Amino acid sequence: MINMTQHKINSGYNKFLNKLVLWSYFYKKVEVEREKGFSPIKNYERMVSFQETVQEMLPDMEKLDRSKIRSYYPLVDDVALIQYFKEIVGR
């Protein structure tokens, strides 16, 4: 059984991770659409929206001890995804 504080940390981190996964999905979708010659306006807007949210949440999330967090996404390498986000957005 986890305490309420840990539950809030888990929930906050998983909310962040959800936004990060959605950003990644839309980023890749926009890249594919551009390669095919399409103008991905709606998907680009969604990607930017998730990007802004993730950028806002990232500093607080990086301070957390991830060893104690229970992820809703056990198959997602959150550390690698965060690094990927930083590399792409840092361009």
Q: Tell me how many domains the chain contains.
A: 1
C-alpha count within 13 angstroms, C-beta hemisphere, residue 82 = 15
Residue 2 DSSP SS3: coil
**5 inside domain:** no
**Strand locations in the chain (E):** none
- Domain of residue 54 covers 17-89
pLDDT in tens, 35-77: 999 988 999 999 999 999 999 999 999 999 888 888 888 899 9
Find the helix or strand (DSSP H, E) in which 51 lies: helix 41-62
The amino acid at 52: E
In a domain, 71, yes or no: yes
64 located within any domain: yes
Asked if the structure places residue 12 within a domain, the reply is no
Q: Kindly report whether the global pTM for this prediction surpasses the value 0.85.
A: yes
Residue at 69 is within a domain = yes
More confident residue, 68 or 12: 12
Q: Is there a domain that residue 85 lies in?
A: yes
